[in-house]
Amino acid sequence: MSKGLAIMTSGGDSAGMNPAIKCCVEYARKQGYKPYLVYDGLRGLIDDHIFEADRDRCSGILHRGGTVLRSSRSKRFFELQYRQQAYDNLQRRGIGQMIVIGGDGSFSALNQFYTDFGVPFAGIPATIDNDIPGTDYCLGVDTALNMIRQSVDSIRDTATSFSRAFVIEVMGRHCGYLAMVSALSSGAEICLIPELPYDLDSIGARLSEENKNGRTYVLAIVAEGTRMSEHLTRWLTDSLNMDARLTVLGHVQRGGSPTVHDRIMAYKFAVAAVDALQEGKTNAIMTYKDGSFGTIPIDQVAGSRYKIDQDLLKLCAPLAG
């Protein structure tokens, strides 16, 4: 009898989730599992939105952004009675293992589920903030960066046409990874992120000198977590006497067809997750570190803080001062 394996997505959506779902299903089936899909995240686990992963449910999803399984955040999952309900739903189908594609909050929720009922899981990191400890890469990051790049390139066209300053706010509540990589890859003049101190006086002096030498426009990339976007826009107008505009990219960064890189990373993470369960690992989070795939225990993820790439910080420091 084949072993039941449930696959779900949880937390914020990101491109790359659908390729990961598809590969998890196909590879798990080859390894003797009977794969199931959980729709609507933790809420679906409680409300029994669980279906066998037949071919129709996984067909034509590789190129789609977001997650066809949908996602949710469930306060009910924090209550034991609802986790019991979720466990009973799995038991009726003979599901004894799970793969969750999401962030550290999703991993912690499934870790509590394991503590209660002993259902082991493997976690595939998927968040555009790229802020899960222990891994250099999370699914969706490359697609999000390309969505930002496309938007910034378009904004640059109008910035040069009208000699304007543009402030572009990108996602990143606590992590400035998207802002840093976007600033460096787009040639922005300013980058403000939570991890770096900034000095507007120094930025103003630098840009004033550049304006004297022929600069006609300015691009600034700001992480939303700094809460500096509106202030910086006004400051550019007042201090540099430039027509400054603010563009908040918002959820456009989460969408879009997954890039080739995200699709291949999804496949590799998915294979690693199924293999980890096959090997008897419990609560293992898939990682990509220094060019190699591996796993770390959930405790190391939940008990540590993400550290941003120091080389990126050094490269971006001049853009903050």
Residues 9, 111, single domain; the answer is yes
Residue among 13, 40, 104, 129 flagged as catalytic: 129
CA-nearest of 98, 103, 134, 148 to 13 is: 103
* Residue 129 designated active-site: yes
Residues 136, 277, single domain; the answer is yes
Residues 78, 163, single domain; the answer is no
Residues 201, 71, single domain; the answer is no
Q: How far is CA 316 from CA 31, 139, 196, 222, in A?
A: 45, 23, 9, 12
312: in domain: no
Tell me: the pLDDT tens digits for 284-309? Answer: 999 999 999 999 999 888 778 888 89
Number of domains making up the chain: 2
Q: Report the number of secondary-structure helices (H) and strands (E) in the chain.
A: 12, 11
**CATH code: domain of residue 294:** 3.40.50.450
Which structural domain range is residue 88 located in?
3-140+258-304
Rounded-to-integer distance, Cα 83 and Cα 123, Å = 18
Residues in the chain, pLDDT under 70:
1-2
315: in domain: no
Residues 146, 135, single domain; the answer is no
pLDDT at 1: 44
- Tokens for 187, please give them: 């040639």
Rounded-to-integer distance, Cα 130 and Cα 9, Å = 16
317: in domain: no
Residues 218, 280, single domain; the answer is no
- SS3 of residue 130 by DSSP: coil
pLDDT at 62: 96
Residues 106, 156, single domain; the answer is no
Residues 250, 166, single domain; the answer is yes
103: in domain: yes
**CATH code: domain of residue 248:** 3.40.50.460
pLDDT at 306: 87
Cα–chain center distance at 216: 35
310: in domain: no
Residues 61, 172, single domain; the answer is no
